[in-house]
A and B are shown apart, each in its own frame.
Chain A
Amino acid sequence: MANVNAGHHDHHPDQEELRTFAFWIYLMTDVILFATLFATYIVLQGSTDGGPGPKELFQMNGIYASTFILLTSSFTSGLAILAMNKGNRLALMNWLGVTIFLGASFLFLEINEFIHMVSEGATIGTSAFLTAFYTLVGTHGLHVTLGIGWMIIVIMQIAKHGITPVTKRKVNIISLFWHFLDVVWIFVFTIVYVMGVN
């Protein structure tokens, strides 16, 4: 019996690992959600109904800035994982804090962009293109907002409980979520913005 257990041990995932896999499955459902929104956007992007199109609306300098901010925040959430693996609680909390700050900066730029567009008369109801645009980019922004709130809660838990197997798993999962948001943004950046003004 002991032998069988020992033999199984190498391939037997523990609970924490299974939970991480379950989160990965959730991410795949999010992939499908975004695929649907991207498909809608691609199909509707030419339907401007006489309203403003991508070339008139998008201010690329702000988009470049927010892209680099999000890429950097993906890197800093990775640095948080490294600090955690070294058992450095303070560095872990600091890097998560930096990631939150960068995520908030990204959101600030995005909200400003939306306000600017609406002030120019490009609202969600102006054309099918803009409906698809606000839905896709807004859904990503909503994910970033949730990620920031989530990260704040994880920091509070680390402050209270320290680095335990449970908080470790939570940091790993929020970091996975944050990298995922970065991946989605790459495609928003490429398909919506760069190809839109090309």
Chain B
Amino acid sequence: MSKQSVHGTTEQHGGHGSLKSYVIGFVLSLVLTIIPILALENGWLDSDKRLIIYLVAALFQFIVQLFFFMHLKEEDKPRYNLMSLLLGLFIVFLIVIGSIWIMMYNMVAL
């Protein structure tokens, strides 16, 4: 959030990004979508190594969306949004990785 809104004055380009940052974010997000599509359609590397391309592209896409569109970096000092996001991501990893791990080593079900 920008300082302007705290002081109640009309907002300039302050905390919500500029046209430039939105365009850069949009172009990056398009590129990060085209890369996995090209990798899939043209069969780059072999199918196991391609997974790394997909996951890295998705991770960067996530970061681009957070910083260029959701303005995570422009938050004021007590970074509560960032902290809650980190807690959220921690729970995500716990659920997703935990589920995969437990289903892979669940000898009773197998």
Chain A residues packing against B (C-beta within 8 Å): 9-14, 16-17, 20-21, 24-25, 28, 31-32, 35-36, 38-40, 42-43, 60, 64, 67-68, 71-72, 74-75, 78-79, 81-82, 85, 87, 165, 172, 176, 179-180, 182-183, 186-187, 189-191, 194-195, 197-198
Residue B42 is within 8 A (CB to CB) of chain A in the complex? no
- In whole Å, how far is B71's beta carbon from the nearest beta carbon of chain A? 9
User: How many CB-defined contacts (below 8 Å) exist between A and B?
Assistant: 133
Number of interface residues of B (CB under 8 A): 54
B22 to A190, Cβ gap below 8 A?
no
B12 to A42, Cβ gap below 8 A?
no
Residues of B within 8 Å of A21, CB to CB, are: 80-81
10 contacts between A and B (CB under 8 A): A13-B6, A17-B6, A35-B95, A43-B100, A43-B103, A64-B37, A85-B16, A176-B70, A186-B65, A194-B40
A166-B52 Cα distance, complex, nearest whole Å? 44
Residues of A within 8 Å of B70, CB to CB, are: 176, 179-180
A35 to B6, Cβ gap below 8 A?
no
Residues of B within 8 Å of A198, CB to CB, are: 40, 47, 50-51, 54
- Residues 8-23 of chain B: 1 if any A CB is under 8 Å from the residue's CB, otherwise 0? 1011111011110010
B95 to A190, Cβ gap below 8 A?
no
Residue in contact with B33 in the complex, picked from A12, A17, A68, A187, CB distance below 8 Å? A68
- In whole Å, how far is B104's beta carbon from the nearest beta carbon of chain A? 9
B6 to A67, Cβ gap below 8 A?
no
- In whole Å, how far is A193's beta carbon from the nearest beta carbon of chain B? 9
Interface of chain A, helix or strand or loop or mixed?
helix
B16 to A190, Cβ gap below 8 A?
no
B95 to A187, Cβ gap below 8 A?
no
B36 to A194, Cβ gap below 8 A?
yes
A25-B83 Cα distance, complex, nearest whole Å? 10
A40 to B99, Cβ gap below 8 A?
yes
Residues of A within 8 Å of B55, CB to CB, are: 190
- In whole Å, how far is A7's beta carbon from the nearest beta carbon of chain B? 14
Given A31-B88, A85-B12, A14 contacting B96 (CB threshold 8 A) = no
Residues of B within 8 Å of A17, CB to CB, are: 1, 5-6
A85-B57 Cα distance, complex, nearest whole Å? 31
B81 to A24, Cβ gap below 8 A?
yes
- In whole Å, how far is B59's beta carbon from the nearest beta carbon of chain A? 9
Instruction: Using A35-B95, A42-B96, A187-B62 as known contacts, list a sample of 13 further A-B pairs with CB atoms less than 8 Å apart, ordered by residue number in A.
Output: A9-B6, A14-B6, A21-B81, A24-B80, A24-B81, A68-B30, A74-B26, A75-B22, A179-B65, A186-B61, A186-B65, A190-B54, A194-B36
A194-B61 Cα distance, complex, nearest whole Å? 15
Residues of B within 8 Å of A35, CB to CB, are: 91-92, 95-96
- In whole Å, how far is B54's beta carbon from the nearest beta carbon of chain A? 5
